[in-house]
């Protein structure tokens, strides 16, 4: 079933394939042990001393006049100095593994896709769950067709020598892949093909999330946190949670963090400030072109955004539309939907749940409406402002102002989500497929 490789700490490094996948592609299992890598650095006192002696202050040189570079990439670093420092750190790290936490088990669906291509390496590096948090990655593909791609992904993870990556498993059966997972990042979904009706997309992807909800319900940790990325993500998250009645509905999220990041970027540009000065940014509603980026409650350098950006026409018209349609504009220019920035926003979304929210700030997430304080329809997945204590859970923020401008648009996004919900009644045990009547307002950010 699994084989072990030697590793630098007491925890075994494991690569698994799930039974159904192994039947189809035995090659990975047959791979001889010697090919599995381990940390090659020897952490002796001598090696450490040598590294310290070699170390010099890292020189950072801006290269004036270069035209073949852009922005920060015009800066070069003295890698010899960095290399010496790295070796020292590595040896310290060997000591630190003794204080590592218990391995966290994370499932990723659509693991061979574009977003995962960026995300998996961030997860494995420790930048998501922290430098003392070893991780097991469970990669889910859709079919035998994608299995070979998953093998390729696993090979690249292997070649990356991440000390925190303790286990990788690949499979196509969610009941096997989701076994005991504590996080499920549901990215895999069919993209909307040419000529495909919106109702068809809701139905096809809805089936995927109904099945994955059932599988999570059956085999995942009882407190698994689920982040749905595959579109239409709000309604897919609703389908997933309705099919997982034994998992708290509060544990399900639809990713709207990319929209939050896009909104912050636009405000920062307009106010000519660095984007870390933008806080309290809410995205209300659906991850679609009806989403409502909230400039009323947003802050710039601690001040209400409207005190810094006096151009009301820009806020009402350009800002709102730019954020709503950012995904579509990007697809037009790049020829495919956002992947690296989506991966970054998934990292941000998880980090917001596993770290305490900075005092006074909040983050946006698509969450289940169940007793919300804003008067938004119950029993849908709606993006709202949240705060976390860093324990993986969240609370809704109550001290926000919803003015007429926001409310009118929030109601439109709510109506869209209610229409989507009627379309998937057959997947959540509430009606017939024929009731689907999605309007042309129902569009992903990537549709124009």
Ligand X SMILES: O=C([O-])CC(=O)C(=O)O
Instruction: Kindly list the residues in this chain that would bind ligand X in the complex (CB under 6 A).
Output: 231, 258, 327, 337-338, 444-446
Between 113 and 174, CB nearer to ligand X: 113
Contacts for 113 with CB less than 8 Å, ≥ 6 apart: 187, 188, 339
* Cα–Cα nearest to 292, from 384, 167, 154: 384
Between 217 and 324, CB nearer to ligand X: 324
Distance CA 123, CA 12 (A): 18
Angle of helix 114-125 relative to helix 340-354, nearest 10 degrees, comes to 40
Q: Answer yes or no: 118 catalytic.
A: no
| In the complex, minimum distance from the CB of residue 9 to ligand NDP, in angstroms, rounded to a whole number | 31
Residue from 21, 28, 51, 112 that binds ligand NDP (CB under 6 A)? 112
Among positions 203-242, residues that touch ligand NDP (CB under 6 A) are 208, 229-231, 233
255 binds ligand NDP (CB under 6 A): yes
Residue from 7, 9, 88, 109 that binds ligand NDP (CB under 6 A)? 109
Contact 232, 205 (CB under 8 A): yes
Token duo for residue 259: 């929209």
Instruction: Write the secondary structure of 128-157 as one string of H (helix), E (strand) and C (coil).
Output: CCCCCCCEEEEEECCCHHHHHHHHHHHHHH
Between 142 and 388, CB nearer to ligand NDP: 142
> Which stretch in 162-170, 181-189, 215-223, 355-363 sits in contact with ligand NDP by CB under 6 A?
181-189
Between 281 and 300, CB nearer to ligand NDP: 281
Four-residue CA torsion sign, 305, 309, 312, 314: negative
Among 18, 287, 316, 426, the one annotated catalytic? 287
| In the complex, minimum distance from the CB of residue 444 to ligand X, in angstroms, rounded to a whole number | 4
140 binds ligand NDP (CB under 6 A): yes
Report residue 438: phi and psi, to 5°.
Answer: -70, 140
* Cα–Cα nearest to 230, from 176, 181, 173, 287: 287
Residue from 110, 171, 213, 385 that binds ligand NDP (CB under 6 A)? 110
Please report, as ranges, the residues that interact with ligand NDP according to CB under 6 A. Answer: 109-110, 112-115, 140-143, 145-146, 187-191, 208, 229-231, 233, 255, 258, 287, 337-339, 342
Catalytic residue list: 287
């Amino acid at each position: 079933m699994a084989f072990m490789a030697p590793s630098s700490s007491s925890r075994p490094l494991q690569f698994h394939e799930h039974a159904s996948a192994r039947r189809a592609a035995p090659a990975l299992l047959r791979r001889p042990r010697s090919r599995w890598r381990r940390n090659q650095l020897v952490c002796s006192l001598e090696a450490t001393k040598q590294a310290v002696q070699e170390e010099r202050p890292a020189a950072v040189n801006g290269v004036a006049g270069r035209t073949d570079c852009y922005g920060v990439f015009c800066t070069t670093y003295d890698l010899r100095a960095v290399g010496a420092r790295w070796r020292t750190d590595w040896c310290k790290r060997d000591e630190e593994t003794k204080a590592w936490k218990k391995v966290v088990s994370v499932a990723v669906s659509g693991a061979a896709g574009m977003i995962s291509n960026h995300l998996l390496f961030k997860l494995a590096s420790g930048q998501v769950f922290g430098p003392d948090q070893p991780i097991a990655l469970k990669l889910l593909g859709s079919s035998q067709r994608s299995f070979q791609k998953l093998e390729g992904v696993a090979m690249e993870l292997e070649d990356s020598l991440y000390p925190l990556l303790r286990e990788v498993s690949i499979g196509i059966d969610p009941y096997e892949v989701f076994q005991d997972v504590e996080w499920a990042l549901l990215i895999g979904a069919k993209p909307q093909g040419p000529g495909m009706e919106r109702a068809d997309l809701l139905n096809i992807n809805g089936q995927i999330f109904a099945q994955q909800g059932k599988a999570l319900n059956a085999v995942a940790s009882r407190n698994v946190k689920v982040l749905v990325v595959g579109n239409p993500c709000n309604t897919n998250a609703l389908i997933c949670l309705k099919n997982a009645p034994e998992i708290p509905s509060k544990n399900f999220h639809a990713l709207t963090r990319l929209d939050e990041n896009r909104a912050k970027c636009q405000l920062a540009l307009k106010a000519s400030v660095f984007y870390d000065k933008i806080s309290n940014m809410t995205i209300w509603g659906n991850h679609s072109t009806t989403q409502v980026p909230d400039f009323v409650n947003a802050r710039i350098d601690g001040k209400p955004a409207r005190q810094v950006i006096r151009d009301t026409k820009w806020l009402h018209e350009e800002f709102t539309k730019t954020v709503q349609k950012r995904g579509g504009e990007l697809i037009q220019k790049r020829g495919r939907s956002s992947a690296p920035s989506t991966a970054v926003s998934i990292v941000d979304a998880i980090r917001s749940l596993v770290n305490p929210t900075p005092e006074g700030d909040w983050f946006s997430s698509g969450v289940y409406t169940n007793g919300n304080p804003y008067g938004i329809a119950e029993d849908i997945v709606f993006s709202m402002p949240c705060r976390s204590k860093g324990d993986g859970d969240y609370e809704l923020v109550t001290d926000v102002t919803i003015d007429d401008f926001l409310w009118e648009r929030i109601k439109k996004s709510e109506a869209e989500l209610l229409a989507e919900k009627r379309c998937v009644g057959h997947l959540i045990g509430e009606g017939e497929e024929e009731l689907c009547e999605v309007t042309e307002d129902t569009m992903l950010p990537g549709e124009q």
